[in-house]
Amino acid sequence: MPSLSKQTFVSPEDVVAEKIVVRKDSPRGVHFRRAGPREKVYFKSEEVRACVVTCGGLCPGINTVIREIVCGLNYMYGVDDILGIEGGYRGFYSKNTSQLTPKVVNDIHKRGGTFLRTSRGGHDTQKIVDNIQDRGINQVYIIGGDGTQKGAALIYQEVEKRGLQVAVAGIPKTIDNDIAVIDKSFGFDTAVEEAQRAINAAHVEVESVENGVGVVKLMGRYSGFIAMFATLASRDVDCCLIPESPFYLEGKGGLFEFVEQRLKENGHVVIVLAEGAGQEYVAQSMHTVDGRDASGNRLLLDVGLWLSQQIKDHFTKVQKMAINMKYIDPTYMIRAIPSNASDNIYCTLLAQSAVHGAMAGYTGFTVGPVNSRHAYIPISRVTETQNIVKLTDRMWARLLASTNQPSFLNSDEVMLGKVDRAIIEQINNRKITSI
Amino acid sequence: MPSLSKQTFVSPEDVVAEKIVVRKDSPRGVHFRRAGPREKVYFKSEEVRACVVTCGGLCPGINTVIREIVCGLNYMYGVDDILGIEGGYRGFYSKNTSQLTPKVVNDIHKRGGTFLRTSRGGHDTQKIVDNIQDRGINQVYIIGGDGTQKGAALIYQEVEKRGLQVAVAGIPKTIDNDIAVIDKSFGFDTAVEEAQRAINAAHVEVESVENGVGVVKLMGRYSGFIAMFATLASRDVDCCLIPESPFYLEGKGGLFEFVEQRLKENGHVVIVLAEGAGQEYVAQSMHTVDGRDASGNRLLLDVGLWLSQQIKDHFTKVQKMAINMKYIDPTYMIRAIPSNASDNIYCTLLAQSAVHGAMAGYTGFTVGPVNSRHAYIPISRVTETQNIVKLTDRMWARLLASTNQPSFLNSDEVMLGKVDRAIIEQINNRKITSI
Amino acid sequence: MPSLSKQTFVSPEDVVAEKIVVRKDSPRGVHFRRAGPREKVYFKSEEVRACVVTCGGLCPGINTVIREIVCGLNYMYGVDDILGIEGGYRGFYSKNTSQLTPKVVNDIHKRGGTFLRTSRGGHDTQKIVDNIQDRGINQVYIIGGDGTQKGAALIYQEVEKRGLQVAVAGIPKTIDNDIAVIDKSFGFDTAVEEAQRAINAAHVEVESVENGVGVVKLMGRYSGFIAMFATLASRDVDCCLIPESPFYLEGKGGLFEFVEQRLKENGHVVIVLAEGAGQEYVAQSMHTVDGRDASGNRLLLDVGLWLSQQIKDHFTKVQKMAINMKYIDPTYMIRAIPSNASDNIYCTLLAQSAVHGAMAGYTGFTVGPVNSRHAYIPISRVTETQNIVKLTDRMWARLLASTNQPSFLNSDEVMLGKVDRAIIEQINNRKITSI
Amino acid sequence: MPSLSKQTFVSPEDVVAEKIVVRKDSPRGVHFRRAGPREKVYFKSEEVRACVVTCGGLCPGINTVIREIVCGLNYMYGVDDILGIEGGYRGFYSKNTSQLTPKVVNDIHKRGGTFLRTSRGGHDTQKIVDNIQDRGINQVYIIGGDGTQKGAALIYQEVEKRGLQVAVAGIPKTIDNDIAVIDKSFGFDTAVEEAQRAINAAHVEVESVENGVGVVKLMGRYSGFIAMFATLASRDVDCCLIPESPFYLEGKGGLFEFVEQRLKENGHVVIVLAEGAGQEYVAQSMHTVDGRDASGNRLLLDVGLWLSQQIKDHFTKVQKMAINMKYIDPTYMIRAIPSNASDNIYCTLLAQSAVHGAMAGYTGFTVGPVNSRHAYIPISRVTETQNIVKLTDRMWARLLASTNQPSFLNSDEVMLGKVDRAIIEQINNRKITSI
């Protein structure tokens, strides 16, 4: 038990509240078990045979999670027998495993990508659990996104059904930050940081020419978190388009009008765009070009290319105004970098939580911070819904306040503005209040 | 009221709980008002005359806070009259002010340092409040550390005493992260990130030679947060010394023994050290060299130089073993960089919260996230205690688990280790548990 | 004459040889005037009215050149009257000028882009020289690429024709490094450095999956210098395709065969591609899709997208082999960054050389290092030919040696290999030789 | 002979001129053999047993040189048997060797430091050559600075004396760039780039306070190249002090006067200082504190600490003026980083030149660019003198022109300034001249 004696144990009774912004009379709500080392450990060190697998797309920090699962098991619990599953789920049944030791993984957190390689799909519950059983594995650490965690839930259920004493732990991975319940997913912070380079480049390009229009496409298929945070961090963005907030191009209050206005005011405009934004338009375009060859269509699926072309066509043909379009897609350059310090620490916490949970004999759980405290969450809770940017949320309000972009909503809100003003004037005789 | 209509208002009834790790029967505890825009605003836009002042040492992100106070006041509330106080508190009464507009501060967040310049001391409550009164200022934004916030509290009290309708808002600044109540202070994340460069350099240097000993001194006069987080993020550190955890050099369980052991095992060792660690030893050394000239003494106050010399002397003279000492002090190189994306967003939130609070007519408050929700906290609450690393906290336990460094405690814990093992074996017949 | 007295003057007789790798009996060849301050200066400080204009695409370092022309004129020669021409050549006759002072340009070298903004085209010799004459400008500094320098030559000729005492100095700018005579163009070093990010990302992506194929498109319309140097600097590239070296896709010795072989050997392959490489194929593809709408065609002009699609189609359809294609186009992210230290110094030297030359009364020249010594070169010399990668040059040989990529030449070279071997064995009885 | 057939061979008759700035009638001067692959190779691939050793301090790029020697020997000449000598010269006789293959060294260029580790001293010619003989080594690659190259010359002489057919090749390494004959040493470019961080930090710190004085100490024991180039690249430096240019502190034209003047003008001043600058003063100080303990003295040897203290004392005590001193020593943080793209290419060229030279049967040579063409230079030529900054050189003149710092010379130059002016006015009737 190398260093566990130095740990402060977490009581199995400790829980973390899902909701913390409350009113005086609000009910207690859902709570999760707090993550951390338990005084009572289920597995004997020498009996553990763990395995680690990574699935899906790249994300900064995967290697740190792998490293810290291995080092955590070894340094904190004296576990020696840890297998690396190669190339995603299908690696369970179609590839050799490798032995993971602290020495082997010592420097991998300084590199991007995944040391264990990855793939999409390949999930075959029966084959995987057969393989777990045959190899005598009793701890399974699964790093992956939404689809991967659904697969993990199936493995957990099958393991239960067969009555195996195997702990199944999921570490949720998605650069998009769209996982429910938990505060944020690992790699997200690094991604937002790295996205600044692309936004800066777009800004410099458009500032240096006449009527410069910069379009930067960022990750986010169903949620606009990266686009939103990257916009807030940069302060050089005029407009941020995300899947959660529909927009339209033409007419009053549309994007073209806004772009034209900013070009008149500043001579340039920068648009940040989540890859999932405006997919309904791209799909429409696809339809109209039907009959064309596959390659052409595939290219048009890219909303960034599509929007750049739309803006270019509008200003060239309709407005007879020459614009300088600069389109940047930094996706791979963001995904492939190593995690920053903040994500390194975060990945360490996730990995250690997972290890403590599995060693304590918990199974069927994922790990993650809930209101900044690490907790164990049933896998099904994180896969049943997806986290999206709520348009009524404070953070989106902050973004709108900072970009002053159109809301792409109908015109009732003009009224609202008037009402606000009225109220403000009314209360002007209030006395200033100490907190 | 330019864009406030787009905001979702926060109800004055919303509160944030200070404690969130609770047990089923634990009491409700302290709550703070949630930060954010209020439906009812106290000040009329055209009547606001705000000012911003920065005090104390540098920290990444000060310029972002300045920028976002100015832009927040202007974009969200239509405020035009914002004064910059130059060079800290003494700027109120001894320097000219400058007019701050969104245009003037537009790019300052891309630079380190403080656009308004800073100084230490110079606090004279009477003169400052006279000046506030004479200039007709009714919103005062004060960015600074512990001492500065105490000064802000005095200004607030004097303002109250004189019955002025002036909102006093503090934005707590300390790169050390030692401010009570709030989750973390701005610039901290950037500092931990930048500290990696120094740790990497030390690691590369000592790996390339025989018996290499790297010592990296980081910020942290009374608290070891930067050292602790930088150590956790790096994974290349053998030992982390912080003010909160006393250590000793000689004898069994001491630092020299540990260094010797790591040199034997790996050929090198990297020590990260908060500037406030081991000050009792440095003070002692100072005493013994008493009588020497000022310059000599001042140099010895640097615990990094002191420790490097102690280790060098011990191994050279006592152990007759040649070591390669590499001492790095990256302090200024860390303090002076611009804030990263994460801190940029954080600074924006702090600034906007402060602006919303002051505009709503609150006074005598500081802003900051409590359990990841931004709140208004009475200034006195953040100055009455200082945040330090709790040795019983999970994060310090994680660090110890990752470095496996000596605890520098007495030897009772060996027993403890044994007890742990016994319990673990007892419970081995438990069934694995679903979360 | 502020600080010129500190300078070591360059004699007007000093020349720089164009060729320096010589044999004992080779002729002396072409020489250029050495750049630098002259003891005899043509212009009086107070009579100088200089102007600076930037044309064409972005390139790291433009702002440093602008800054150093302004500071050089002011600090070294006491010149106060310097005009900035806005937005390229057309700025001479269609826009207001701005006054450039050391204070105004003090920090611009820390930003990418061009402080004076830029445009393509807009060259109207008569209007420009009219404007020069009307405004009383007597020194014209023109920063731009091949087309821009041709324009500068026309301005110079018109100025001569009209008998104006106006010095016309060109500072050659092209990120592609394809300017004849001079050693390299400014910004090139920074571009090669920044290109590493994209290559690293591609490498990490393809290493993490099965059959990963990374394609990175870099700048270089007619010359492959950036692609070649970025490949040499990285060591992670399997194949580098440049405009100067034709290649083919199908059949023995073709690119598909090479990609397949590397996939079999290593599981992944990284291709770096200059934007001008294989344009003949892209043009062909364009032809076959003739009749389609403009937008479709324009997309296909991008050789990177084209090659990615070709490889994908070949392996999916012909080889029935699933590959993971990762295409990265970092062009704008490279062009828009500030220059690195090396380019900063280089830009300073170019600017100061131009200033010394104009002040000495030279005209119709460009500046640049010839064999690492800065020289004045007649504008026509740098525009009459373009610098390209010579396939017989040592640097290309080094690249081939490092990537071991196919030469895409016919099969005679196999013979050559045999001959080499024969000779080597013959001389094995030579004695080793001191240098 | 894997890929040599693709190379363009260099004729043994090709030479590189040492001098290229010439006048029409100047003599031909010294020439060196041009580096590169020879058609006739001395060694058979299968008979080569090469070894590589690294000595002295760290410098960016050592790992790239090691990697490219190994890959060059293997890819270009089919050599399989390459030994790594561990930990510098003493590794020849006191340590085990390791086998170096392309696979082993594949990624080392992405890390700082030296993969083979290093040490100072330990040179014992007899033991080393015995060992070379005993192990059957016939190619020795020695990477190191001045002292190391002197050692290489001794090994070469002993090898000659014993009549061994062993090629001895030196690759000169010094971050200071003080090696004679060659254009620059590897790692220098990276060092100048990285030094910008420290200068930026100093500049931000002093700009943010009143009377801020930043002192940055850079490498350069006997030559000020890094300080000079870092100053030129930054444009934020007020004064650059190097070993080659003596300076004085007090009185008219002294440093204190200059600092005071800049503080009055700008409120801050940044001084860059090579570690070897002003050593005569530091030595004097040491003398006066004689009798103190070793540790005190050692600290005072640091000219950066010494100068900071002198300035502080002068302004505090003599001038009664409070200053804010910020001293930064980034030495280890610069030395330990990986080489940038430019140095990576440069290291590749050095390594490949060395390999071609040794394979061609040359011995007793070092490699390096002479006027930007790579050449073979007798070891003795690079060790007999050291390269220093010539105060009459154009580059130092450029620096003085850019900082406008005092020359610390006597006052005759004031006269000179006047003379310049006179001449300039005289020639004002010259006509402008085409190049």
In a domain, D17, yes or no: yes
Q: Is the pLDDT of residue D4 over 70?
A: no
Whether B55 and B119 map to the same domain: the answer is yes
Confidence of residue D427 (pLDDT cuts 50, 70, 90): very low
CB-hemisphere CA count at 13 Å for C216?
A: 37
pLDDT per residue over C12-68, tens digit each? 777 777 765 555 555 556 788 889 888 889 999 999 999 999 999 999 999 999 999
Contact in structure between B142 and B155 (CB atoms under 8 Å): yes
Q: Is the pLDDT of residue B346 over 80?
A: yes
In a domain, A413, yes or no: no
E strands of A251-296, at which residues? 268-274
Q: Is the pLDDT of residue A206 over 50?
A: yes
In eight-state DSSP terms, residue B380 is: H
Name the residue among A72, A232, A433 with its Cβ closest to that of B348: A232
Q: Is the pLDDT of residue A379 over 90?
A: yes
Whether C317 and C360 map to the same domain: the answer is no
Residue type (1 letter), A370: V
Whether B227 and B130 map to the same domain: the answer is no
Instruction: Considering the candidates C14, C25, C134, C176, report the single residue annotated as catalytic.
Output: C176
Angle at D291 between CA D290 and CA D296, to 5 degrees: 75
Residues 142-181 (A) with a CB less than 8 A from some CB of B: 156, 160, 165-167
Report the C-alpha gap between C10 and B22 in whole angstroms. Answer: 79
pLDDT per residue over C309-350, tens digit each? 999 999 998 889 999 999 999 999 999 999 999 999 999 999
In eight-state DSSP terms, residue D114 is: -
- Least confident range from A388-397, B308-317, D104-113: namely A388-397
Contact in structure between B173 and B190 (CB atoms under 8 Å): no
Answer yes or no: do B40 and A109 touch at CB < 8 A. Answer: no
- CA-nearest of D207, D217, D330 to D278 is D217
In a domain, C390, yes or no: no
Report the C-alpha gap between B107 and A234 in whole angstroms. Answer: 10
A18 to chain B: closest CA residue? B20
Question: Residue range B96-104: average pLDDT?
Answer: 96
Confidence of residue A232 (pLDDT cuts 50, 70, 90): very high
The DSSP-derived string for C355-402 is HHHHHTTEESEEEEEETTEEEEEEHHHHHHSB----TTSHHHHHHHHH
Classify each residue of A95-121 as buried b or exposed e, where b means 16 or more C-beta atoms within 10 Å of its C-beta: eebeebeeeebeebbbbbbbbbbbbbe
Contact in structure between C308 and C215 (CB atoms under 8 Å): yes
What was the ipTM of the complex prediction?
A: 0.88
- Least confident range from B39-48, B257-266, D152-161, D300-309: namely D300-309
Whether A21 and A159 map to the same domain: the answer is yes
Contact in structure between B67 and B82 (CB atoms under 8 Å): no
Whether D12 and D134 map to the same domain: the answer is yes
CB-defined contacts A:B, below 8 A: 269
Is residue B301 helix, strand or coil? coil
Residues of B in contact with D53 (CB under 8 A): none
A336 to chain C: closest CA residue? C201
Give the closest-approach CA distance of A99 to chain B in angstroms: 21
pLDDT per residue over C376-425, tens digit each? 999 989 888 889 999 888 899 889 888 889 888 644 443 333 333 333 33
In a domain, D24, yes or no: yes
Last residue of a domain, one of B299, B333, B367: B333
Any bridge partners for residue C30, and if so which? Answer: none
Chains meeting A at 3+ CB pairs closer than 8 A?
B, C
CB-hemisphere CA count at 13 Å for D43?
A: 31
* Token code pair at residue C424: 């080597």
* Token code pair at residue A134: 């045959």
pLDDT per residue over A33-57, tens digit each? 889 888 889 999 999 999 999 999 9
Answer yes or no: do C183 and D341 touch at CB < 8 A. Answer: no
The 3-state secondary structure of A166-202, one letter per residue: CEEEEEECCCCCCECCCCCCCCHHHHHHHHHHHHHHH
Confidence of residue B435 (pLDDT cuts 50, 70, 90): low
- Residue C361: left if φ>0, alpha if ψ -120 to 50, beta else—which one? left
pLDDT per residue over D102-117, tens digit each? 999 999 999 999 999 9
Report the C-alpha gap between A13 and B22 in whole angstroms. Answer: 9
Residue type (1 letter), B209: V
Q: Is the pLDDT of residue C428 over 60?
A: no
Q: How many CB atoms lie within 10 A of CB C353?
A: 29
pLDDT per residue over A74-84, tens digit each? 999 999 999 99
For chain C, give the longest Cα–Cα distance. 77
Whether D290 and D348 map to the same domain: the answer is no
C-alpha distances out from residue C65 to B89, C108, C117, C339, C368, Å: 40, 10, 13, 10, 13
- Least confident range from A249-258, B139-148, B394-403, B406-415: namely B406-415
Confidence of residue B27 (pLDDT cuts 50, 70, 90): low
pLDDT per residue over B409-432, tens digit each? 644 443 333 333 333 333 333 466
Residues of B in contact with D305 (CB under 8 A): 299
Whether B106 and B204 map to the same domain: the answer is no
Q: Name the percent of chain A lying above pLDDT 90.
A: 68
Question: Residue range B183-212: average pLDDT?
Answer: 96
Whether A287 and A353 map to the same domain: the answer is no
Give the phi and the psi of residue A233 in degrees, each rounded to 5. -70, -30
D279-288 and D303-313 helices, crossing angle to 10°: 70
Number of structural domains in chain B: 2
* Token code pair at residue A163: 């009555």
In eight-state DSSP terms, residue C301 is: T
Answer yes or no: do C210 and A326 touch at CB < 8 A. Answer: no
Report the C-alpha gap between A390 and A394 in whole angstroms. Answer: 9
CATH of the domain at D351: 3.40.50.450
In a domain, D116, yes or no: yes
Whether D208 and D284 map to the same domain: the answer is yes
Question: Residue range B295-309: average pLDDT?
Answer: 69
Report the C-alpha gap between D399 and D240 in whole angstroms. Answer: 8
State residue D354's pLDDT score: 97
In a domain, C104, yes or no: yes
| Parent domain of D278 | 189-335
Residue tagged 């990444």 (tokens): B60
pLDDT per residue over A109-142, tens digit each? 999 999 999 999 999 999 999 999 999 999 999 9
B176 is catalytic: yes
Instruction: Considering the candidates A107, A124, A146, A176, report the single residue annotated as catalytic.
Output: A176
Confidence of residue B301 (pLDDT cuts 50, 70, 90): low
Best of D59, D332, D337 to disrupt the B interface (most B CBs within 10 Å) is: D332
Whether D113 and D245 map to the same domain: the answer is no
What is the value of pTM for the model shown? 0.90
C-alpha distances out from residue B351 to B11, B65, B347, Å: 19, 5, 6
pLDDT per residue over C149-176, tens digit each? 999 999 999 999 999 999 999 999 999 9
Last residue of a domain, one of C366, C384, C402: C384
Report long-range pairs for A297-303 (Cβ below 8 Å, ≥24 apart): A299/C299, A299/C305, A302/A217, A302/A275, A302/A329, A303/A217, A303/A273, A303/A275, A303/A276, A303/A277, A303/A278, A303/A279
CATH of the domain at C308: 3.40.50.460
- Least confident range from A374-388, C154-168, C276-290, D213-227: namely C276-290
Classify each residue of D138-158 as buried b or exposed e, where b means 16 or more C-beta atoms within 10 Å of its C-beta: bbbbbbbbbebbbbbbbbbbb
State residue A113's pLDDT score: 97
C-alpha distances out from residue C9 to B356, C4, C34, C79, C119, Å: 63, 9, 11, 19, 37
State residue A426's pLDDT score: 35
Answer yes or no: do C205 and A332 touch at CB < 8 A. Answer: yes
Give the phi and the psi of residue C69 in degrees, each rounded to 5. -65, -45
Whether B74 and B93 map to the same domain: the answer is yes
Whether C141 and C55 map to the same domain: the answer is yes
- Average pLDDT across chain D, whole number: 87
Answer yes or no: do C113 and A204 touch at CB < 8 A. Answer: yes
Q: Does A337 touch chain B (CB under 8 A)?
A: no
In a domain, C266, yes or no: yes
In a domain, D295, yes or no: yes
Confidence of residue D426 (pLDDT cuts 50, 70, 90): very low
Give the closest-approach CA distance of A388 to chain B in angstroms: 17
The H or E element that residue D32 is part of is strand D31-34
